[in-house]
Chain A
């Protein structure tokens, strides 16, 4: 495969530090240790409350079709005025790691800016819970959230789904399910470098093997945990891997961003292209020299600030409409 794109200078320097703690290639044997390890930054209730600007609550809601209850983390802005919206968040972690508090900080930033209720779902993880368990948990939480818009205090016409990495794939799947099942209505889908293709064979996946963050081996670990023997085969559901969807028409407006030096580059660019080909609305940003999750791991880098600002600008247009 051809030479991979170089990393952005600031990100390359940070990667030299991060790489010591986070190898590019995660194998199934490493999952247990990673779940225990301190590399996941713990998020406390105090962190979420932001000096009293949010109320924090965890609600158990019914799972889908007799599945166990699903826990939703609900953060409501205390001082917001006017009509609230809601961001329904599916966290990242390759389908095998993370919890409902991971990645919520950026959701809270948006919530303060745009007046949003943040709902983040504690879906069950693979490999203990293979497909369709995780996405069904997410779906059950989304349906409950939309049905309880009045109680939560938001306008159901201002509900978006958002997630990064595996959470971006889950958010994309929720948009497909909502279309196919006639609701809930979604105003938009924010797909942050989403993990959407279990085939794991795009040029960027091959090109970036062994480099950066979440390389092809890590991706195989995540997809293998979720799909088992079915991974890469003919019968994978688009609700597990949205890139498998043959019809991308009639979806809510999508924001998709991805970095040029990561596994997901080509599958995410293709997803945006296919939405346009289907007559849909999508905004695509490809950040040069970024690795997977660059803005979260190196938020101070110039390119990270730009990536995050682009999301805010899209939300600003979306909620202003």
Chain B
């Protein structure tokens, strides 16, 4: 029945037009249509070119009234009818007053676009940012490509962060980047475990990234089973960073002893972590929320299980090194993860 042609373009200003505009955009949202479909719908129903611009997300979509995509030939005219859709602006390219259904089309299309932008937040344009960030930290990528990516993100100096999920973030430092150019996620502190690399010029980000990955191995979950810092800066590791080169940290005898002691006493790891990491038993008791005498009993028990003293600086260093090597064992380098 191709010939029962009911062209949407034939909509006019009668009473049912508004109902049809609403039904059309509701249908698009319900079916999970993307932004191009919504902008196309606006162009077709209004009978003039329509465009959606979101400079921050670098989204630019323009459709002609026959539904054909056409890149924007120039800047938007401020006199065109327009409606905000979150961070984006939807415009009908019409001069000389709005058409009969323009207001309804703008309102419904903007609302539909906002719904899509909400649904895809952090996916569409942010995915482009992710790609740029991955490029910036890729030592094998050509220098000019990394340089261009840095400019696109408005970066001069920056540092890299790696999350436990493997997600890479690049944080600008120095002069603030132009408004709207901040890479997504840059300002938010990481919620889980994260390794942080040193602040470097943008072309040295691969170095910062490698350091961040190393730092991530020194992080802990911060639980009884895995006490320690969730966020570690490579700059602050100092000589400890050398331990990352140990081939089989889990095989070091002190680490095995620590594991055996922890298996015998569930409180042990957190307790020795506190004792080795504070200046006095009293400070450790406060951190553990234990009575001083209770902690003394535990320390005696731990010394027995470990076989070395926790009262001497040397013994506390052995515990710190054993805890650190244990974390490195639990957070293996990617190339060792399979073993």
Contacts and interface: CB of A to CB of B under 8 A. Distances in A.
Contacts of B31: 6-10, 12-13
Interface stretch (B18-26, B219-227, B294-302, B329-337): B18-26
Contacts of A213: 1
A8 B34 CA distance: 11
A218 B30 contact: no
Interface residues of B, number: 31
Given A7-B31, A299-B67, A305-B67, A40 B24 contact: no
Contact of A302 (B2, B24, B27, B67): B67
A40 B4 contact: yes
B6 A93 contact: no
Interface in B4-34: 4-9, 20, 23-28, 30-34
Interface in A1-20: 6-10, 12-18, 20
A22 B4 CA distance: 8
Tell me if A's interface is mostly helix, strand, loop or mixed.
loop
Contact of A297 (B6, B33, B65): B6
A113 B24 CA distance: 33
Nearest to B65: A300
Given A293-B1, A297-B2, A16 B40 contact: no
Contacts of B43: 300
Interface string B107-134: 0000000000000000000000000000
B217 to A, nearest CB: 45
Contacts of A93: 1, 3-4
A12 B37 CA distance: 11
Contacts of B67: 299-302, 304-305
A278 B43 CA distance: 46
Interface string A134-168: 00000000000000000000000000000011000
Given A300-B8, A300-B67, A302-B67, A13 B27 contact: yes
A248 interface: no
B315 interface: no
A14 B7 CA distance: 9
A63 B23 CA distance: 47
B2 A9 contact: no
Contacts of A94: 1
Interface in A285-321: 292-293, 295-302, 304-305
Contact of B36 (A22, A102, A165, A302): A302
Contacts of B65: 300
A293 B68 CA distance: 19
Given A7-B31, A10-B37, A305-B68, A17 B1 contact: no
B136 to A, nearest CB: 34
B183 interface: no
B195 interface: no
A16 B26 contact: yes
B8 to A, nearest CB: 6
A98 B24 contact: no
Nearest to A39: B4
Contacts of B33: 9-10, 13
B77 interface: no
Given A13-B25, A22-B4, A193-B2, 18 more contacts: A8-B31, A9-B28, A13-B27, A14-B24, A16-B26, A17-B20, A17-B24, A20-B20, A94-B1, A165-B2, A292-B1, A297-B7, A299-B67, A300-B44, A301-B67, A302-B37, A304-B67, A305-B68
20 contacts: A9-B34, A10-B37, A10-B40, A10-B41, A12-B28, A13-B23, A13-B25, A13-B27, A14-B8, A16-B23, A17-B20, A40-B3, A40-B4, A92-B3, A93-B1, A102-B5, A213-B1, A300-B44, A300-B67, A305-B68
Interface of A: 6-10, 12-18, 20-22, 34, 39-41, 91-94, 97-98, 102-103, 164-165, 192-193, 213-214, 218, 292-293, 295-302, 304-305
Those 10 A-B pairs whose CB atoms lie nearest each other, nearest first: A300-B67, A13-B27, A9-B33, A9-B31, A293-B2, A102-B3, A296-B2, A16-B27, A41-B5, A13-B28
Interface of B: 1-9, 20, 23-28, 30-34, 36-37, 40-41, 43-44, 65-68
